[in-house]
Amino acid sequence: MSIQAAGRSAEWFFDFVSPFAYLQLEQFDRLPASLQIEPTPIVLGALLAHWGHKGPAEIAAKRVFTYRHALYRAQRLGIDYRMPPAHPFNPIKALRLAIAMGGSLDVIRRIFRHIWRDGQDAATPEGFASLCEAMRFPEGVQAVEEPSVKEALKRNTDRAISLQVFGVPTFALDGELFWGEDATELFIECAGSRAWLDSPEVRRVSQLPVGVRRAAPAAAPDTANHADSPAASR
């Protein structure tokens, strides 16, 4: 496969609550070296509310399967993995911490590893303080309460919704979305060439008519304050 990504960039939307975002990040060394990745922390719970979705962790049987699947993927990929003591957890402060610390991939990777490699709590007051200490940024406890940091997270989430992002992790590249750790291979191929996306069968399935619709679900909850809403799932 020929990778021709020089001068191009992809936005990567993630939430620390997602084990699959951690697993995908640990595979970034497989991405084209010339492709610039712009990491964007967002609130998954707000996406779920916007689209009227339940997350896997809100469906008992699906919750167990999701945890098993994430563990299986980690083992198959050879990625160090240990779930935090409780899940789902509220990731809001961890997301804000990434923003307050500049949002580099190095910062984001360290936070992910604290939670998903080392299995540490990052949601309780004590756990979050420990995360800030581990990040050598103890002032993070106060920094995450800054209005500008809160607004940045809300703005990121609003941007994701405007791009039709419906879950994490998601790559956005040239108007196309690639959702899920298991779409990593697809993203790599499409970052190198549009040949698959532009093939006749892909075009056909992308425009299939809707055969039947379910009755409309109840109205989604108000997400006006979604930057302070806990994420519930993958």
Please name the residues in contact with 91: beta carbons below 8 A apart, sequence gap of 6 or more: 15, 16, 17, 43, 44, 122, 123, 230, 231
Residue 118, CB half-sphere, CA atoms under 13 Å: how many?
14
* Residue 42 clears pLDDT 60, i.e. is over it: yes
Percentage of residues in the chain having pLDDT higher than 90: 87
- pLDDT at residue 158, as a whole number: 98
Coil/strand/helix, residue 64:
helix
CA distance 92 to 17: 9
CA distance 51 to 59: 17
- pLDDT at residue 224, as a whole number: 42
> Residue 184: phi, psi to the nearest 5?
-60, -45
CA distance 179 to 12: 10
CA distance 121 to 95: 14
What is the rounded average pLDDT of the residues 78-94? Answer: 98
* Residue 174 clears pLDDT 50, i.e. is over it: yes
| Lowest mean pLDDT segment, chosen from 20-34, 107-121, 179-193, 213-227 | 213-227
What is the rounded average pLDDT of the residues 134-158? Answer: 98
Q: What is the residue-averaged pLDDT of the chain?
A: 92
Percentage of residues in the chain having pLDDT higher than 70: 89
What is the rounded average pLDDT of the residues 63-89? Answer: 98
Angle between helix 92-100 and 125-134 (nearest 10): 30
Tokens of 139: 């002032």
- pLDDT at residue 227, as a whole number: 46
* Residue 31 clears pLDDT 80, i.e. is over it: yes
Output b/e per residue, 152-171; b: 16+ Cβ within 10 A.
bbbebbbebbeeebbbbbbb
What is the rounded average pLDDT of the residues 214-221? Answer: 64
Does 3.40.30.10 match the CATH number of domain 9-198+223-228?
yes
Angle between helix 92-100 and 105-112 (nearest 10): 150
What is the rounded average pLDDT of the residues 85-105? Answer: 98
What is the rounded average pLDDT of the residues 45-66? Answer: 96
* Residue 223 clears pLDDT 60, i.e. is over it: no
CA distance 106 to 189: 25
What is the rounded average pLDDT of the residues 102-120? Answer: 98
Residue with tokens 């004590």: 126
Confidence of residue 216 (pLDDT cuts 50, 70, 90): low
| CA distances to 26, 84, 140 from 228, in Å | 27, 21, 17
